[in-house]
Chain A
Amino acid sequence: MTSTNDQSPINGHAVSRRVLLYLAVRGFSPTASLSLAQLVLDQNPKDLAEAVTLMRDLLPPTADPNWPLSFPPLNRRSMITDKLANGDFFNDLEL
């Protein structure tokens, strides 16, 4: 899609802005964002939705899914295993 011949109500500026916005929010530098945005526009997306889909497919993989480490590994000697085996997990207050 080129802005000079575009007759669509979705103009090239809106598409560019949306792609650049996503890349900026994603953390890409301005230079990298412009390069990626150009790659998207060079494929002549017919509308905003298609542009975003193209951009998604062009993006590199995300960071390590295990970052940041949220909690330590479960201790396999967890008390529930021990206490269920002993059968006295809950106190009996004998009310």
Chain B
Amino acid sequence: MRPAEKWKKAGSLRRAILLILIALPTIAAAWITHSLLPAQGVTWLNAVMTALFAILFGWISVGFWSSLAGAYALARGGDVFAVLKGIPTTADLPDDFKTAILFPVYNEDPQMVFSGVKTVRDSLDRSGAARHFDVFVLSDSTDPDVWVAEEEAFTRTKLADPQGSGLYYRHRQMNLKRKSGNIADFCRRWGADYRYMIIFDADSLMSADSLIRLVKVMEARPDIGVVQSPPKAIFSQTLLAKTQQFAGHLYGPVFAAGLHFWQLGEAQYWGHNAIIRLDPFINHCQLPRIPGRSPLSGDILSHDFVESALMRRAGYGVWLAYDLEGSFEQSPPTLVDELIRDRRWCQGNLQHSRLVFARGFFPTHRALFINGIMSYGSALLWFFFLLASSAEALSSILATPIYFPEGPSLFPDWPRYFPAWALTLLSSTALLLFFPKFLAGLIVTVKGQAKAFGGLGRLVLSIFLEVMVSTFLAPVRMLFHSLFVVTTFLGFKVTWSPQNRDSQGGLTWWAATKFHWFGSLLGIVWGLSMYVVSPGFFLWLSPVALGLALSIPLSVLTSRVSLGTLAAKLGLLRTPAETQTPLEVKELEERLNAPLPASLLPISFAKGFTRAVVLPATLELHLAISGRKRKLGVKKEWLERLTAKALAKGPDSLSPKEKKALLNHGPELVALHWAVWRLAGAKARRWGLYE
């Protein structure tokens, strides 16, 4: 049997086993739940609760069985179908093709982006493989200050590179189809020049070893379209980010091995830190618009899941290289940042409901679409379950039991309670949720890697700390994810203004209150009313009510760098990236903390537009990179009015759109440059020209 057929057969068998492992306990749990409910006979409320519990139980058991499968694969020394088996790390790549490394960026910090670019290029230089890779920074930045800052950062990076070639910057004028359109633009213009592309995020980092191994896998396996690496978080400073970084480093390998076990060549691409074969991607993976005018129509937002389904539909495998080291990313620092990101992801995942029944997709990818929908939909189902449980608790207190229902009966029908079964159900749910975490800790300990996590004692304490933080934050996430699902379906857009930060970048109490007041109020009212009406049920509800009620302090405290630093001082939440720091991570950290070059004029790099107008070198750079004669059909009279306004009132009087218009018109920009240098007094000082 050919290798491709072998893994397909194995994958089908493994997934069939997974379905049985999920279905049987779920049916048992549903039956127990139904039996536990105190109502006599079947009520609609009982039926709803049983159905919701069954769905949620089945959902969380996917993670449980994935962890067990991952542990099994790791215990056996790796999966027999692992794509990295037998792939060396030597840099002897063929010279007849190149791989493009893409950094699509959108209003990110240019120093962060280009520090990552330089670190990757230096790593490739050391490995001797630099000539096989070209790096493209593909900017969709709409903020004119960031646009110019990117150009300056690009030039500094290029000048600092002894090679000087193989690094390119492109700024796109129209943000058509967002990130997927950005990549598609690269494919149209330069895709034919490369065999593969490796997509990064603005905060991604990959070592040369990992990049070379990915290329070698693609060369060895022409049946593969995408190989996804499992990125691990680095540079986390706040308590929340450190908790998630710890979870990713400890649980991630087991969970990734488990995902690989079930998915094999029908895995998912996560949008970054992955290599893609360009030819089939261009031929088969360009995304259409979803027809209609509903909130789930239009451009496909979460493009990565759809692209992997399209790649598989075209006959190419999509694999997860679960055991690839040297792939990194950064975590959101605060709960609010995480939830703002989740809002976008939620809409993208829900949109996939329009694709579940699209023609040609493999069943695994249809299941993965449903999995993505449930990542957020399960929160709403959990919320409904809690509401239904509260209603059931209320009705059992307030409603009069009917001891003699209709029909002849010699004996009364007493309400039945099964505390032992309740305990069994609770224990099973807790097992599904928490056992994988301790299993991962056990595997790390058995492999002798506990020292990398701070030693066995600190590892155990760290796991408890992570469980505490995630347990208390779970109800907050549940509430917001439920809100996101509902508002997405109703077509409402929830936006948040930039968050107020304290001096260390943490969330202020006022900002947290504005964000979480509703959840806090709900938790207090819900908890108190259940405590008064049904103290027994209140005990079950208390973790949820407490988490919601405390959401403001939880959000503030987990955003604190000081608490993250305290945890680090106590040796908690340590990860191998901190105890055995890879060279690339060290270099990137140094670059991120390095001061920016000094300037004769007090105009910060954050004020890119002002720098482009005032500084001759920045002006020339901008005109060289972005073109001197760009015409966008803008009226000359309008540009003249903008120029007059800028001279009279300074750069801060212009809106981003007005600044972009001037940046796009070379002759007007040059004229403004000289006019600014002719200014005197207060008008000159607004541009940073002090006499």
Residues of A bordering B, CB below 8 Å: 10, 14, 17-18, 21-22, 24-27, 48-49, 52-53, 56, 62-72, 74-75, 77-80, 83, 89-95
B158's contact among A53, A68, A74, by CB below 8 Å, is which? A68
Shortest distance between the CB of A22 and any CB in chain B (Å):
6
Asked if B358 and A94 sit within 8 Å, CB to CB, the answer is yes
Complexed CA–CA distance, A50 and B322 (Å): 67
Asked if A95 and B290 sit within 8 Å, CB to CB, the answer is yes
Which 8 residue pairs spanning A and B have beta carbons closest together?
A49-B678, A71-B168, A94-B359, A80-B188, A93-B358, A70-B625, A26-B616, A52-B678
Interface string of B101-140 (1 = CB under 8 A from A): 0000000000000000000000000000000001010000
Q: Which of B189-197, B450-458, B478-486, B541-549 is found at the contact surface with chain A?
A: B189-197
Asked if A53 and B678 sit within 8 Å, CB to CB, the answer is yes
What are 11 inter-chain pairs, A to B, with CB distance below 8 A?
A: A18-B689, A21-B601, A25-B617, A26-B617, A56-B674, A70-B169, A78-B188, A79-B192, A83-B282, A90-B287, A93-B355
Complexed CA–CA distance, A10 and B678 (Å): 12
Q: Is B534 engaged at the interface, CB distance under 8 Å to the other chain?
A: no
Asked if A22 and B288 sit within 8 Å, CB to CB, the answer is no
With A68-B624, A91-B286 as known contacts, state yes or no: A22 contacts B616, CB within 8 Å: yes
Q: For A52, what are the chain B residues with a Cβ–Cβ distance below 8 Å?
A: 674, 677-678
With A91-B284, A91-B288 as known contacts, state yes or no: A72 contacts B677, CB within 8 Å: no
Q: Is B600 engaged at the interface, CB distance under 8 Å to the other chain?
A: yes
Within 8 A of A (CB), among B598-633: 600-601, 615-617, 620-621, 623-625, 628
With A17-B691, A25-B616, A79-B187 as known contacts, state yes or no: A70 contacts B624, CB within 8 Å: yes
Q: For B190, what are the chain A residues with a Cβ–Cβ distance below 8 Å?
A: 71-72, 74-75, 78
A95's contact among B170, B192, B286, B358, by CB below 8 Å, is which? B358
Asked if B677 and A75 sit within 8 Å, CB to CB, the answer is no
Shortest distance between the CB of B276 and any CB in chain A (Å):
14
Complexed CA–CA distance, A91 and B680 (Å): 59
> Which single residue of chain A is at the shortest CB-CB distance from B359?
A94
Q: Is B291 engaged at the interface, CB distance under 8 Å to the other chain?
A: yes
Asked if A95 and B355 sit within 8 Å, CB to CB, the answer is yes
Q: Is B205 engaged at the interface, CB distance under 8 Å to the other chain?
A: no
Complexed CA–CA distance, A68 and B92 (Å): 30
Q: For B649, what are the chain A residues with a Cβ–Cβ distance below 8 Å?
A: none
Asked if B291 and A91 sit within 8 Å, CB to CB, the answer is no
With A17-B691, A63-B620, A74-B189 as known contacts, state yes or no: A91 contacts B674, CB within 8 Å: no
Shortest distance between the CB of B163 and any CB in chain A (Å):
13
Looking at chain A's contact residues, the main secondary structure is: loop
Asked if B628 and A71 sit within 8 Å, CB to CB, the answer is no
Q: For B290, what are the chain A residues with a Cβ–Cβ distance below 8 Å?
A: 95
Within 8 A of A (CB), among B147-172: 154-155, 158-159, 168-170
Complexed CA–CA distance, A67 and B164 (Å): 12
Q: Is B199 engaged at the interface, CB distance under 8 Å to the other chain?
A: no
> Which single residue of chain A is at the shortest CB-CB distance from B165?
A69
Q: For B628, what are the chain A residues with a Cβ–Cβ distance below 8 Å?
A: 65
- For chain B, which range describes its interface: under 10, 10 to 19, 20 to 34, or 35 or more residues? 35 or more
Q: Is B85 engaged at the interface, CB distance under 8 Å to the other chain?
A: no
Q: Is B274 engaged at the interface, CB distance under 8 Å to the other chain?
A: no
A27's contact among B154, B158, B617, by CB below 8 Å, is which? B617
Asked if B354 and A18 sit within 8 Å, CB to CB, the answer is no
7 more contacts with CB within 8 A, not counting A25-B616, A72-B134, A79-B191, are: A18-B691, A25-B617, A27-B617, A91-B284, A93-B355, A93-B358, A93-B360
Within 8 A of A (CB), among B168-218: 168-170, 187-193
B677's contact among A18, A93, A95, by CB below 8 Å, is which? A18
Complexed CA–CA distance, A23 and B432 (Å): 70
Complexed CA–CA distance, A94 and B617 (Å): 52
Asked if B600 and A91 sit within 8 Å, CB to CB, the answer is no
Complexed CA–CA distance, A58 and B188 (Å): 44
Asked if B359 and A71 sit within 8 Å, CB to CB, the answer is no
Complexed CA–CA distance, A48 and B684 (Å): 11
Shortest distance between the CB of B381 and any CB in chain A (Å):
26
Complexed CA–CA distance, A11 and B594 (Å): 41
B170's contact among A22, A26, A71, A91, by CB below 8 Å, is which? A71
Q: For B30, what are the chain A residues with a Cβ–Cβ distance below 8 Å?
A: none
Asked if B188 and A79 sit within 8 Å, CB to CB, the answer is yes
Shortest distance between the CB of A16 and any CB in chain B (Å):
11
Q: For B287, what are the chain A residues with a Cβ–Cβ distance below 8 Å?
A: 90-91
Asked if A68 and B617 sit within 8 Å, CB to CB, the answer is no
Asked if B623 and A65 sit within 8 Å, CB to CB, the answer is yes
B193's contact among A22, A27, A75, by CB below 8 Å, is which? A75
Q: For A75, what are the chain B residues with a Cβ–Cβ distance below 8 Å?
A: 189-190, 192-193
Q: For A92, what are the chain B residues with a Cβ–Cβ distance below 8 Å?
A: 288
Q: Is B310 engaged at the interface, CB distance under 8 Å to the other chain?
A: yes
Q: For A80, what are the chain B residues with a Cβ–Cβ distance below 8 Å?
A: 188
> Which single residue of chain A is at the shortest CB-CB distance from B358?
A93
Complexed CA–CA distance, A51 and B158 (Å): 35
Q: For B617, what are the chain A residues with a Cβ–Cβ distance below 8 Å?
A: 25-27
> Which single residue of chain A is at the shortest CB-CB distance from B624?
A65
Shortest distance between the CB of B118 and any CB in chain A (Å):
15
Q: For B624, what are the chain A residues with a Cβ–Cβ distance below 8 Å?
A: 64-68, 70
Q: For A22, what are the chain B residues with a Cβ–Cβ distance below 8 Å?
A: 616, 677
> Which single residue of chain B is at the shortest CB-CB distance from A10?
B680
Interface string of B51-83 (1 = CB under 8 A from A): 000000000000000000000000000000000
Q: Is B588 engaged at the interface, CB distance under 8 Å to the other chain?
A: no
Q: Is B285 engaged at the interface, CB distance under 8 Å to the other chain?
A: yes
Complexed CA–CA distance, A91 and B184 (Å): 13
Complexed CA–CA distance, A91 and B311 (Å): 11
Complexed CA–CA distance, A20 and B171 (Å): 34
Complexed CA–CA distance, A65 and B600 (Å): 23
> Which single residue of chain B is at the shortest CB-CB distance from A51?
B678
A62's contact among B188, B288, B620, B677, by CB below 8 Å, is which? B620
Interface string of B349-362 (1 = CB under 8 A from A): 00000110011100
Asked if B310 and A91 sit within 8 Å, CB to CB, the answer is yes
Within 8 A of A (CB), among B668-689: 674, 677-678, 680, 689
Asked if B616 and A77 sit within 8 Å, CB to CB, the answer is no
A25's contact among B192, B355, B615, by CB below 8 Å, is which? B615
Shortest distance between the CB of B174 and any CB in chain A (Å):
15
Complexed CA–CA distance, A75 and B170 (Å): 15
Shortest distance between the CB of A55 and any CB in chain B (Å):
9
With A18-B689, A65-B623, A80-B188 as known contacts, state yes or no: A95 contacts B291, CB within 8 Å: yes
> Which single residue of chain A is at the shortest CB-CB distance from B291?
A95
Complexed CA–CA distance, A56 and B670 (Å): 11
Complexed CA–CA distance, A14 and B541 (Å): 73
With A77-B192, A91-B287, A93-B355 as known contacts, state yes or no: A70 contacts B616, CB within 8 Å: no
With A71-B169, A79-B282, A91-B287 as known contacts, state yes or no: A21 contacts B358, CB within 8 Å: no
Q: For B155, what are the chain A residues with a Cβ–Cβ distance below 8 Å?
A: 68
